[in-house]
Every structure is written in C-alpha cells, then in structure tokens.
Structure 1
Amino acid sequence: MPETTTIEATDEQLAEVKYNADGLVTAIAQDVENGDVLMLAWMNAESLKMTFDEGRMVYWSRSRQELWRKGDTSGDRQFVREAYYDCDADALLFKVEQEGAGACHTGARSCFFRSFG
C-alpha cells in the first residue's frame, strides 16, 4: 500500500472554500505522475477534512447521499499527494497516486475516455 500524505490546510484556507447551495464543491483527481485527469466528483466539508486527515480521497455521493472513500469496495484507491483550490475557491484539484485498475466506476483508468466527434 502506498504511504499516505496528509495535508495541513489552515482554518483560513478551509474557510475560503465556496460550497454550492447543496454544500458541495467539485473535486478533480489528477494522476500525479502523468497529469491525466482521472475523475471529477463532489466533496462536502466533512469529506474534504477526512481527505486531508487520512491522505486518501473521500468524496460525497450525490446519488447515495453518503460519504465514500475511493476504493473501499473496488480496491482502486486514490492516495493524495498534493491539493489545490482555484482562484475563485469553488473547485478543488487533487494530485493523486491511483492504485488499481482505474478511477472510473466502469473500470476505465480515467472517467474521461469518451470524445465528441
């Protein structure tokens, strides 16, 4: 198992994050080694704190209305290496080490495997 990296966000940084009306913020997972965008999901304040504290990606499932730690059922875990927030503080970017077959629930390495045209 890869080592975990915890993130030491300040209270001021956490207070800057802008959540939508449902209390959620978009979170992008990007492969730390090759820069591939792996997936986009949602986080609430609790899942963001858990992600920072545990060093593993924890998301909020809008369909199931529950927290989910990436890979607990599939084995395709994501380990945090770096964390950023955008200039408007309404989107998060995590550079992760992807373990297992891939990030997508379809089994694909990335959720972004379909192209237009």
Structure 2
Amino acid sequence: MVTKQKFQSFAELLAGSQQPLLVDFYATWCGPCQMMTGILEQVNAQLQGQLKVVKIDTDRYPQIASQHHIEALPTLVLFKQGQPVDRIEGVLAANQLIERLQPHL
C-alpha cells in the first residue's frame, strides 16, 4: 500500500529512510495524478522491499513542493540517502517506471 504520511519534517523523513524513497508530488484536483495512484500501487507491489513510495499533496505542503522545484504535476522524485537521484514529470506506465527506477535500487 502507498503511504500517506504525516511527518514532522520532510528532511527527517528522507534522512530516516533506509530504502530509496519515491515521492509522488500530487494534488487532489489533478487528473493525471489520479491515474498515477494505480500505477504506483503496481510499482510498489513489484518492487516491494526495494523502495518506499510516499505521496505528498502539494496543496498541503507548498513549501516542500517549492523547495524541490515542483512545477508540473504529477512529479515523482526518487531520493536515495536523502538526495534526489531521479525526477519524472507526468504519467508513465508501471513497467516504464520500474525500468527507470531499477538502476537506482
């Protein structure tokens, strides 16, 4: 299951993660973002234990979105040891997304 997490600080979440974190920056009003939900659940199921998927609502956390220069939604950012290592804007099919993430895992 994809986690919707409440946290003290995003930096803390990144620093505390042993696994790479795939962060889905989305908004409830964004159509393509809704499409990503099912795709991310497939990716999460296939890459179980290799990464963690976290969703961040840019309307709720605008400071995090601007800190990471999120201009298009959905934007996925893969963080490894707290650092962004890949960034994907827009919708990708589950298999394409897995292919893109694999080298970083």
Q: TM tier, shorter chain?
A: 0.3 to 0.5
| Structure with more strand by fraction | 1
TM-score, length basis structure 1: 0.31
| Structure with more helix by fraction | 2
**Greater length-normalized contact order (CA 8 Å, ≥ 6 residues apart):** 2
TM-score, length basis structure 2: 0.33
